[in-house]
Amino acid sequence: MSDNLNTRSIGARFQQTPAKAALERLQKLFTPRNLGGLLVSLGRLGVLIGVSYAILFPLLAKIATSFMAEIDIFDKTVHWIPKHFTLDNYRNAIKYMKYPSAFVNSLALTLGLSLLQLASCTVVGYGFARFDWRGREVLFAAVLFTLVVPPQMIMIPLYLNYRYFDFFGLAKEMQLNLLGTYWPLVLMASTATGVKNGLFVYIMRQYFRGMSRDLEEAAYIDGAGVFRTFFSVMLPSAVPAMVVVFLFAFVWQWNDYFFVNIFAGNRHLLPNALAQLTGEYSRDLTVAGTEHVMRAYGSLLNNAGSLLLIAPLVTLYIVLQRYFIESVERTGLVG
């Protein structure tokens, strides 16, 4: 009996034309339930493409124009692909930014500051998460408040603080001028007050709060002190959040011009070199007047310079993409 059935169904299958089979498959695919899901997916795809386009458009436009000759900018028929492809913008940007030395200096500074920020924000975050002390909530609100304060607003006090540095009021008679050195940046990074450090403290605090207390309590019962518990038990478990903090710190510190210009404006670092790019280039020209570099060429040069500035970051992101996304997910920064 079952043999008959199998033979019949196989025979029926063989009798179907390819068009009929395709139709059947489509019918199965477009059930009302599937159709709803498909529409949602399409909508989501549309939103993702739209958002990606909005984010990537400026970058793609910069990449396209960085390979253009000046004449291409004014050619209405040139939209994305240059008619006069050139690498001159990059050559000039590398030459006038003194890119290799600026790169090495920036890399050393950024790595150092990022590690310091990571260390300080982790300790501070742990303190906020695990210890009860008077004024904790108020101070934490102040930490969050630093995220919304524009840097210009704190520029004067910061400048004065490091112009007459008295070890945070501890040695008032010994005032040092730290401007023009890396010390203000190092001190800010070491005390969790560097670029966007409020956010990093928040991330670490949230992560530590989400960790089970059992581990800590077990360590305390085994006789470990606060530091031992922190270094041997809590830190190894907080690696995902630390990776996020380190990557964010690196990216923001790398791109920071504001603080670098105030405290170390005389140092040969990439953001300073980019800011002075057209100025350096114009010094080689002999045209009189205040506008030595034609604005159009200045924008091409700046586009190439900006891309050279972010190139290491893009490379870093491509190499560490997996860790970056995983860490962001694990720390609960995304929904």
Partner 1 sequence: MKARLSLMIVLTVIVACASVSMAYDYDNLDFGGKTITFLYYDPNNPLDADVVAEAEELFNFKFEMQVVDWDSYTEMAMARLLSGDSDYDVWMMGHPHFVQLVSNNAVLAVDEMLPADHFDYLDPSIIERINKLKMDGKTYAFHSWIPVLNDMVFWVFNKDIFERDGLPDPYELYDKGEWTWDKVEEIALMATKDTDNDGEIDQYGIGEMRTLFTLIPNGARTVDLVDGQFVFAFNQPEALEAINLVYRWRTLLKVSQGTWDIREFLAGTRAMTGVISWQFWTLMGTELNYGVVPLPKGPNATKYVFPTDKVCMFYLPANAKEPEKLIALVNYIAPSAEWHEMTMFDQWIPWWVRDEKSAQIMMEGIENWEGEFDIMEGTLTIPLDPVFNGEKSAAAYIDEIYPQIQSQIDDLFKQ
Taking the least distance from each CB to partner 1, the nearer of 242 and 293 is 293
Contact partners, residue 106, CB within 8 Å, separation at least 6: 254, 269, 270, 271
Choose, by CB under 8 A, the member of 111, 294, 316, 333 that binds partner 1.
294
How far apart are CB 18 and partner 1 at their closest, in Å?
A: 43
Q: Which stretch binds partner 1 (CB under 8 A): 70-78, 106-114, 209-217, 304-312?
A: 70-78
Q: Binders of partner 1: how many residues, by CB under 8 A?
A: 33
Residues within window 242-261 making contact with partner 1, judged by CB under 8 A: 257-258, 261
Q: Is 318 exposed, middle or buried (0-12, 13-18, 19+ CB in 10 A)?
A: exposed
> Residue 186 corresponds to which tokens in the numbers above?
């190092």
SS3 readout for the chain: CHHHHHHHHHHHHHHCCHHHHHHHHHHHHCCHHHHHHHHHHHHHHHHHHHHHHHHHHHHHHHHHHHCCCHHHHCCCCCCCCCCCCCCHHHHHHHHHHCHHHHHHHHHHHHHHHHHHHHHHHHHHHHHHHHCCCCCHHHHHHHHHHCCCCCHHHHHHHHHHHHHCECCCCCCCCCCECCCCCCHHHHHHHHCCCCCCHHHHHHHHHHHHHHCCHHHHHHHHHCCCCHHHHHHHHHHHHCHHHHHHHHHHHHHHHHHCCHHHHHHHCCCCCHHHHHHCHHHHHHHCCCCCCCCCCCHHHHHHHHHHHHHHHHHHHHHHHHHHHHHHHHHHHHCCCCC
How far apart are CB 159 and partner 1 at their closest, in Å?
A: 4
Taking the least distance from each CB to partner 1, the nearer of 64 and 333 is 64
Taking the least distance from each CB to partner 1, the nearer of 26 and 156 is 156
Choose, by CB under 8 A, the member of 112, 240, 265, 312 that binds partner 1.
265
Taking the least distance from each CB to partner 1, the nearer of 30 and 164 is 164
Residues within window 271-290 making contact with partner 1, judged by CB under 8 A: 275-280, 282-283, 288-290
How far apart are CB 77 and partner 1 at their closest, in Å?
A: 11
Residues within window 172-231 making contact with partner 1, judged by CB under 8 A: none
How far apart are CB 184 and partner 1 at their closest, in Å?
A: 13
> Residue 101 corresponds to which tokens in the numbers above?
């030395």
> Binding to partner 1 by residue 293, rule CB under 8 A?
yes
Taking the least distance from each CB to partner 1, the nearer of 25 and 283 is 283
How far apart are CB 223 and partner 1 at their closest, in Å?
A: 51
Taking the least distance from each CB to partner 1, the nearer of 155 and 311 is 155
Residues within window 107-166 making contact with partner 1, judged by CB under 8 A: 152, 155-156, 159-160, 163-164
Taking the least distance from each CB to partner 1, the nearer of 137 and 291 is 291
How far apart are CB 68 and partner 1 at their closest, in Å?
A: 13
Residue ranges that bind partner 1, judged by CB under 8 A = 70, 73-74, 76, 152, 155-156, 159-160, 163-164, 257-258, 261-262, 265, 275-280, 282-283, 288-296
